[in-house]
Amino acid sequence: MSFSISYIFATRNRLPFLKITLQKLLDDLQPGEEIVVVDGNSTDGSKEYLQQLFDCGKIHQFVSEPDKNQAHAWNKAMLMATGTIIKKIMDDDVFCYEAIRNCKNYMLENPSVDVIISNDFYSKLSNGTSLVEPNSRLEQFNKWKSGTIPSFTFGDVHLLIRKSALAYVGLYNTSYVMMDWEYSLRISYSKANIVYYTGYNALSVTHPQTVTSQKNDDFINEQGKRAVTFYELADDYISRWSRIKIAIGEVIFSPKYNPTVKADKIVDKEDIPATYDKYYDYLAEVNKAGSFTFITKN
């Protein structure tokens, strides 16, 4: 069977979030759509949960084994995907599959398009939908499109990529902690055919467990300087969303941080499903109410 799109997951030890996000996709899955899951040898029950779904035929490809790092896991998932289009699904973010399919259909109708990115929202889990902020890279895209800047950054939470384009833009750089930051610079610097969708494919949710590395500021800055030099980054050194994630990491990995004190760090586990239901409703309503378009490179 051929698949028009592969939804890929890379996960490890985040079962409460995985159950929510994967079930939302399973409830919405359509014929011709593939689910690929790479588990990093989880010890919290995720591996067993995923194996059961795979044995029941609900997910199409599944592997559980140790990963060297997050980029390694995502690279495995991209290589395993058999769909024409690849869409990353982070296990703790929120996605609008109707908007994603709009982008997928556009790419299928326009075979020269390598990548589609979109606007997205972000929210702190402890705030729920009381504080959801939009995050747009349209200004940077337009500067890149006009040739004013040679590269720009964007998050991969809303990225769709044509699998055949991997031969040109490559996979994630496994030496980078901020792998999506470096990948977006490489994609844009290589002059891939990027299209911007003004709708919202995703809502990024931040909480302590979203931080995947305990690298310090010096390490992040050193990697950033390398990318700035190589890709001639001329707009913002690190995007607003990336700065937010780094700031969260600084709090979490500070010696003063006490992970047993919830405060505003994360909501109670029993509240998470209800909060995510509200996020999904919010994202769907915004996309239904708006009128959105595709902005091409040329």
* Domain containing residue 226: 5-295
| Total domains present in the chain | 1
Structure confidence at residue 236 as a pLDDT band (50, 70, 90) = low
pTM: 0.88
- Is pLDDT above 70 for 23? yes
At 81-116, the pLDDT tens digits run 999 999 999 999 999 999 999 999 999 999 999 999
Asked if 67 and 39 touch (Cβ cutoff 8 Å), the reply is no
At 51-84, the pLDDT tens digits run 999 999 999 999 999 999 999 999 999 999 999 9
- Is pLDDT above 80 for 267? no
> Cα separation of 296 and 291, whole Å?
17
Tell me the CATH number at 9. 3.90.550.10
